[in-house]
Amino acid sequence: MITKKLWFSVALSTLLLTSCAKQATTGGASAVLYPEDVTKPKLSQYELNVISEKIYQNETSGNPKNLMFWSKNETFPSIGIGHFIWYPAGQAKVFDETFPSMIDYYIANKVEIPTWLKNARKTGAPWRDRATFERSRNDAQFQQLKVLLLNTKALQTEFFFDRLTASIPEIVQNVAPEYRKHIVNNYNALAATKGGWYPLIDYINFKGKGIKASERYNNQGWGLLQVLQNMRPVQAGAGALAEFSRSAKQILERRVRNSPPAKNESRWMRGWTNRVNGYATPIL
């Protein structure tokens, strides 16, 4: 059975996605037209739980310690099963910062969270650098957040789902008109495939929407937009999963080729390949 809370989220997302004749503005941003031919999102509680466990394994290898991680190569920590980005105060926000929105999602869904976390929503991650972060692992606040993350894996996945469905109109509007139908058709094919929500949800969480100029090398992005656009036309079914998997791998290989040599991104390609190869096999 789908939860009452999830029904509300799905209904809201569906309303936005199917209102082609209407426009929406957020935070003063320019209006975005919503395509009327996007598949209405549906996700059962069973799918939600299965997907959340799969993403948890992807991001943490089943180790709770990895729920809060700060790479030596990054200027920010990654939080939760989706490794949400959370910038400390003063850091340039090159990538989409998603953890503050996750905090808002906790509050909107009436999850009890510590006061310090509510306050940090506006001030930034409470660790100024990686060294401070690692020294804080046994602190009360650090442990409070880790327990919260462990106990809300399904809700974090629901947040991914809502983010995915809300992002499709934005993605569609960020390509030339002649490519929009192709992207929507491929998205719909995945959405109509058993187990097809998992690769869509995981990839947008894994590599983003693909619309920010700062998330490109040689003006070529690596997000969900690029994967959907790079796919061959598909119908719902096993072929859609296989084609999404193939396209994702190709897009990530292109990212590595375009990346600055000093970043040595090729060292990540094996893990990325294993992850996207898994998209070809339905998890349900």
Domain positions in the chain: 1-17+40-166, 174-284
Residue pointed to by tokens 């991914």:
160
For 77-109, write each residue's pLDDT tens digit: 999 998 899 999 999 888 889 999 999 999 999
* E-state strands within the chain: 23-24, 32-33, 68-69, 78-79, 84-85, 216-217, 220-221
Residue pair 144/111 in contact (Cβ under 8 Å)? The answer is no
For 32-65, write each residue's pLDDT tens digit: 455 677 776 778 889 899 999 999 998 898 899 9
More confident residue, 17 or 205: 205
pLDDT over 60 at 6, yes or no: no
Cα radius of gyration (the chain): 19
Cα gap 241→92, rounded to integer Å: 36
Residue pointed to by tokens 């999963």:
241
Give the per-residue pLDDT at 100. 96
Strands 32-33 and 68-69, sheet pairing: unpaired
Cα gap 8→2, rounded to integer Å: 10
Cα gap 204→271, rounded to integer Å: 17
Residue percentage of the chain with pLDDT more than 90 = 70
Here the tokens at position 218 are 């040689």
Cα gap 194→50, rounded to integer Å: 13
Cα gap 189→3, rounded to integer Å: 25
pTM of the model: 0.79
Give the per-residue pLDDT at 33. 53
Give the per-residue pLDDT at 37. 77
For 111-158, write each residue's pLDDT tens digit: 999 999 999 999 999 999 999 999 999 999 999 999 999 999 999 999
